[in-house]
Structure 1
Amino acid sequence: MTAATTGTVSAEQFRELMGAHPSSVAVITTIDEQGTPHGFTCTALCAVSLDPPMLLVCAANTGRTLPVLTRSGHFAVNLLHTRGQRAAEAFTSRTADRFSAVPWRPAPGSGLPLLEQDAHTVAECRVVRLDPAGDHTIVLGEVVRTGSCGDPAQALLYGLRTYATWPPATETTPRD
């Protein structure tokens, strides 16, 4: 039997496989009953449906944000631009107050935390479904509001254990 049929791929081997595939970087945010913001960096997200508009994000079962997101029933997806790397790093840390490291504001109406200086686009979502999947939970959300955050910028990507920009900056070549 092969590793594919016996399930012998280690967590490190799988991490290496997925790390070779560049992904967009987002910070997923929500608020608790007291209005305290919570969030985490996420590269496991994708569009699911256009009608109704839905996306999914994957949240670690051991993280502090998933229980809050589950109770609140709402979350925001902050798609980071190339200048948002500090936010990506802040929200991967074990620090309790990740929001002290980046400027943010509550969204009108929902109060969801928006990282307007580090994100190029945001989406506010209503939780439609939660599906446990190994050590993560798939969070399916219906997009209820979207918006741009001022200055359009190049998207932040993460792959091969490094951050990159998309589209890549082009070099200008002098012509003769």
Structure 2
Amino acid sequence: MEIEQTGLKDCLIIKPRIFEDPRGYFFESFNQNIFEEKTGLSGRFVQDNQSYSSYGVIRGLHAQAGEFAQAKLVSVISGEVLDVAVDARPGSPTYGKHFSIKLNAVNKLQVYIPRGFVHGFSVLSKTAEFLYKCDNFFNKASEVGVIYNDSDLNIDWLIPEKDQAISDKDLLLKPFSELQHI
């Protein structure tokens, strides 16, 4: 497992070591001991979530606040997404900045998104299966978010506007400037 910095404090790219041969491939998708040793961060995850979406879907930007804040380890099982993380931690040197990366079934990259970030992704392939491990349990009352097309963040989701599919719930989210502390 290799760890790379993203440019956002504590947000990391994880490259697994992949063993391939004519039969296929094998890789260790997560090892708590190695993760903690290489990052100094806790790797205790308590909930796994999986979503399936079609081309043009944009999910996010989401987080949970307070005692239910979550760190996430995200990856793609099939297809390709543009994964986006925004640092929403007041006082952080990268507050208000975002990072994006293409995650897919071929590159098998993962992104560690710490607590205090809002997160989302857009589906670039016909369909995609997205997996995320969380270090805290979901609590509906603690959900917060930022509108996907916030003009201050200026995120390019790599999906033409005519093809974007956003949930009614996500269309009601407020701009980053109005986000309450996570």
Q: Do they superpose with TM above 0.5?
A: no
Structure with the higher fraction of residues in helix conformation: 1
Q: Which has the higher contact order (CA 8 A, sep 6+)?
A: 2
Q: Which has the larger radius of gyration?
A: 1
TM-score, with normalisation over the residues of structure 2?
A: 0.24
